[in-house]
Amino acid sequence: MAKIIIREVVDNKSGIKEFVDVMWKIYDQKKFPQWVPPLRLSVIEALDTVHNPFYKRATIQMFIAERDGKPVGRIAAVENRAHNEFHNDKIGFYGFFECIEDQEVANALFSFAEKWLKARGLTAMQGPMNPSTNHECGLLVRGQSQHPTIMTTWNPKYYEELHDCYGLTKAKDLVAYIIAREKNTELPKKVKDHVAKLRAENSRVKFRDFDVKNFTKEVENCFEIYNSAWEKNWGFFPMTKEEFVYAAKDMKMIMDPKMAFMAEVDGKPAGFMLALPDMNHVFKRIPTGRLFPTGIFKLLIGKKLMKSVRIITLGVKPEFRGTGIFALFTMESFERAQKYGYIAGEASWILEDNVEMNKPWVDLGAPLYRRWRIYEKQL
């Protein structure tokens, strides 16, 4: 068998394009019908070290694996200085991993990422991170048969074996719950009674739609909540305001303000929930991943037809926790879905050991149906 060549990708427009293109060399949509081609522009923005403010505090190196001159895999190594400064550690990261079903290729990719990180004085490697916990992350280890939701990773089952055989081990799992309702779905009486009690006890809590007309101000409110709400979560590191705004601009075009709502206590922001329409159903109809010339029309038309969402973010300021506000958010999302005609939703990602965040979905009877894994290896 021909020798595997691992090549460093030049960090420029053509190099990033070449790196992004590898996905379309790995995935055959007939063999992997669940795979949803991403929008190329979104992946390019995640890798753009010139315009993406994430890279003001991080460095990335991309690698492509080739055999007989053809790409057979890719990986990126990331030094996230913001993470290491916040946690006072020396962890390196890998991400954007794609590979054919070949352990030799996977080993070569992991090895090159590991050597690059080790040369920078880092002592452990975690991933997949694309490129951090504030972006897409995790290897799907349960739920490959289901259609992936927007901004979540999907990979073939054999990726898990590629990781295990290289010596990567579990650091943490992230889980997802599915909430599907029939036309006349009724919640368990104990749930409705519990929420009614909480609403009586928390009459100062009011929910309102995200104010799109004051988008900048609303993003500032969410930014303040985000960094305080997740501060003690595993793997979290604070985003800068510039990073948060950069991420928010991509969501503005597809968000439904009725499913992106704020909780206020005495008129002041206390928490927010963001549920995005599952545009993956539209992206599936854009197999090239290119918005032009016809993809943009499919995107705009498809948004109006979406009947499912992904609850991507739920954050509450620390001072309002322990009041049952997470359960109130959960019920509010369920009631809004009924009112506005959404028939299904996924709540993800949730840390597997975050009891406070898992409990409301369990109480609703929502099954845990998908699981992603963050791997690690000491260098």
Backbone angles phi, psi at 39, to 5 degrees: -70, 125
What is the per-residue pLDDT across 301-322, written as a single tens digit (0 to 9) for each?
556 667 899 999 888 888 887 7
What pLDDT does 240 receive? 94
Q: How far apart are CA 315 and CA 10, in angstroms?
A: 38
Class of domain 4-174: alpha beta
How many Cα atoms sit within 13 Å of 35 on the Cβ side?
Answer: 20
CA 53 from chain centre, in angstroms, equals 18
Average pLDDT over residues 176-198: 75
Give me the residue spans of the domains in the chain: 4-174, 178-371
Average pLDDT over residues 54-63: 98
Q: Say yes or no: do domains 4-174 and 178-371 share a fold.
A: yes
What pLDDT does 337 receive? 87
Q: Is the pLDDT of residue 366 over 70?
A: yes
Average pLDDT over residues 224-249: 87
Other C-beta atoms lying within 10 Å of the C-beta of residue 180: 13
Q: Is the pLDDT of residue 332 over 70?
A: yes
Q: Is the pLDDT of residue 300 over 70?
A: no
Average pLDDT over residues 261-283: 89
If we measure between CA atoms, which residue out of 209, 182, 158 comes closest to residue 32?
158
End-to-end CA distance of the chain: 29
Q: How far apart are CA 377 and CA 379, in angstroms?
A: 6
pLDDT band at 105 (very low <50, low <70, confident <90, very high): very high
What pLDDT does 51 receive? 95
Which tokens belong to 224? 């303040």
CATH superfamily label, 178-371: Gcn5-related N-acetyltransferase (GNAT) (3.40.630.30)
Residues paired with 209 in a beta bridge: 261
pLDDT band at 295 (very low <50, low <70, confident <90, very high): low
Q: Among 104-118, 160-174, 311-325, which stretch is predicted with the lowest mean pLDDT?
A: 311-325
What pLDDT does 190 receive? 76
What pLDDT does 192 receive? 78
Q: Is the pLDDT of residue 293 over 70?
A: no
In 286-347, which residue ranges form alpha helices assigned H by DSSP? 295-303, 325-340
Query: CA 96, 100, 104: angle at the middle one, nearest 5?
Result: 100
Average pLDDT over residues 226-240: 84
CB 285 within 8 A of CB 302: yes
pLDDT band at 365 (very low <50, low <70, confident <90, very high): confident
Which residues, 6 or more positions from 184, have their beta carbon under 8 angstroms from its beta carbon? none
If we measure between CA atoms, which residue out of 233, 217, 202 comes closest to residue 313?
233
Q: How far apart are CA 369 and CA 379, in angstroms?
A: 33
Q: How far apart are CA 242 and CA 318, in angstroms?
A: 23
CB 287 within 8 A of CB 28: no
Q: Average model confidence (pLDDT) for the chain? A: 90
What pLDDT does 185 receive? 60
CB 290 within 8 A of CB 38: no
Q: Among 31-45, 123-137, 357-371, which stretch is predicted with the lowest mean pLDDT?
A: 357-371
What pLDDT does 301 receive? 59
Report which listed range, 68-77, 172-181, 307-316, is most confident: 68-77
